[in-house]
Amino acid sequence: MEKIIVRGGKKLNGTVKVEGAKNAVLPVIAASLLASNGKSIIHDVPALSDVYTINEVLRYLNAEVKFENNTVYIDASRELTSEAPFEYVRKMRASVLVMGSLLARLGHARVALPGGCAIGTRPIDQHLKGFEAMGAIVQVGNGFIDAKVEGRLKGAKIYLDIPSVGATENIMMAATLAEGTTILENCAKEPEIVDLANYLNSMGANVVGAGTETIRIEGVDELHGAEHTIIPDRIEAGTFITAAAITGGNVLVQGAVPEHISALIAKLKEMGVEFVEEKDGLRVIAPEKLKAVDIKTMPYPGFPTDMQAQMMALLLTAEGTSMITETVFENRFMHVEEFRRMNANLKIDGRSVIVNGPADLQGAEVAATDLRAGAALVIAGLAADGITRVTELKHIDRGYVNFHGKLAALGADIERITVEETTQAPNTTSIAIN
């Protein structure tokens, strides 16, 4: 078993560079399946376990995929198969993003039904509603979703009940090869949607309005491979910003795009954090003491749910009472129990958590319950008294490249170790190895 070991109390200083965005690269790789001729070359691809998984899905579907030096080369011009089995969807829900491309290109897609996960049930009804509106027959059974269309998909007017990121992306991909015009309303407006639209357009698609509430897609007959560079990861940038802030540090986050994290910056400024925009990134200068604030997660451009756990860690160290309200996922507070192990005073009240700060955080053994919770526990460890040991690192590896190494380079006392698992007789004292 691997653990991240943090000894708290060090201020972070220096420069950290963010990777390409996980949530942009996954749909972009899925969209590459739409290219019936030519190769795609995708730059600034982070070496994350999720990227390895989506690459495996594409290989299974018979595309040729090579990943080296942060570049992915994809040739999807061969005959593809249309089924993505459970072993991939189980590892990563975003595997479901291949559905729109397969359905549009092959007229058929069969993808294992994604289950719920630690942050909520996460249904995909809006994705399926979009495919049906474009003429697909969708059947769910035996753990699979099967979508079929006679001939081509047909452009349609589709209104999303929720501005779902994944549904916007899946429907947008499907609509690029549909006959006629698709108008998608109440779309997600995340920067990753804009990145996907830019990639699709460079493949020969005609997508207008990405980043606004309404996206219009004129279907074309075929798409080709294209070269594309992934946008910087705003959540990784935000994670390092909160890490700098919790330690009272001064850090340049290279590659951070301030417009992509304006809600986070606004809240941190209210807390007393200073920001300086520099040529190649954003400098974070933390105050001696942080002030409490309330936050509410919302779809973009609101406060991102993917920064909620890291923000909870930071607010634990702020003076006063804060309230965090989670409106995007119904169950994204699993980290509360872990923070309590570190002596945090947190009270869950429905979809809100009341944070009483400043906490006298103490190092403890804690488990990452999802990727952002994992990052947040490491961040809390940076400010805790004593040693924090974080387990279940597979979650962190889904979303962060060399997280502990980047923090260590900024001056954190942190390491990642492998601990031999021992089979223990009942009632014996546990032995800490390493």
Ligand X SMILES: CC(=O)N[C@H]1[C@@H](OP(=O)(O)OP(=O)(O)OC[C@H]2O[C@@H](n3ccc(=O)[nH]c3=O)[C@H](O)[C@@H]2O)O[C@H](CO)[C@@H](O)[C@@H]1O
Ligand Y SMILES: C=C(OP(=O)(O)O)C(=O)O
Q: Give the active site residues.
A: 117
Q: Which helix (H) or strand (E) holds 108?
A: strand 108-112
374 part of the interface to ligand Y, by CB under 6 A: no
Q: Which of 243, 231, 273 is nearest to 374 (CA)?
A: 243
94 part of the interface to ligand Y, by CB under 6 A: yes
320-325 and 64-68 as β-strands: parallel, antiparallel, unpaired? unpaired
- Which region among 122-130, 196-204, 264-272, 382-390 touches ligand X (by CB under 6 A)? 122-130
Q: Which is nearer to ligand X, 231 or 251 (CB)?
A: 231
d(CA 106, CA 49): 28
Size of the residue set binding ligand Y (CB under 6 A): 8
Binds 371: which of ligand Y, ligand X, none (CB < 5-8 Å by kind): ligand Y
DSSP reduced 3-state for 228 = strand
Q: Which of 64, 75, 61 is nearest to 109 (CA)?
A: 61
Binding mask 83-102 for ligand X (x = CB under 6 A): -----------x--------
23 is in an annotated binding site: yes
> Which position has the token pair 């200073």?
274
* Cis peptide preceding 358, ω within 30 of 0: yes
Of 195, 236, 306, 397, the one binding ligand X by CB under 6 A? 306
- Which region among 35-43, 165-173, 284-292, 359-367 touches ligand X (by CB under 6 A)? 165-173
CB-based contact 431:39 (threshold 8 Å): no
Percentages helix, strand, coil for the chain, rounded to the nearest 5? Answer: 35, 30, 35
Q: Any bridge partners for residue 158, and if so which?
A: 184
- Residue 307: CB minimum distance to ligand X, A: 10
- Residue 59: CB minimum distance to ligand Y, A: 20
163 part of the interface to ligand Y, by CB under 6 A: no
21 part of the interface to ligand X, by CB under 6 A: no
DSSP reduced 3-state for 202 = helix
Q: Which of 16, 18, 23 is nearest to 300 (CA)?
A: 23
189 part of the interface to ligand Y, by CB under 6 A: no
Residue facing ligand Y at closest CB distance: 306
Binds 167: which of ligand Y, ligand X, none (CB < 5-8 Å by kind): ligand X
d(CA 222, CA 205): 8
d(CA 262, CA 256): 11
Residues 214-233 that bind ligand X (CB under 6 A): none
Binds 328: which of ligand Y, ligand X, none (CB < 5-8 Å by kind): ligand X
313 part of the interface to ligand Y, by CB under 6 A: no
The DSSP call for residue 302 is: S
The two structure tokens encoding residue 177: 């090869």
Q: Which is nearer to ligand X, 162 or 433 (CB)?
A: 162
326 part of the interface to ligand X, by CB under 6 A: no
399 part of the interface to ligand Y, by CB under 6 A: yes
- Residue 167: CB minimum distance to ligand Y, A: 13
Distances (CA, A) of 378 to 236, 382, 403: 13, 6, 9
Of 26, 51, 136, 158, the one binding ligand X by CB under 6 A? 26
Binds 351: which of ligand X, ligand Y, none (CB < 5-8 Å by kind): none
306 is in an annotated binding site: yes
> Which position has the token pair 């990943």?
67
Size of the residue set binding ligand X (CB under 6 A): 20
Q: Where does this chain bind ligand Y (CB under 6 A)? A: 23, 93-94, 119, 306, 371-372, 399
Per the annotation, where are the binding residues for phosphoenolpyruvate? 22-23
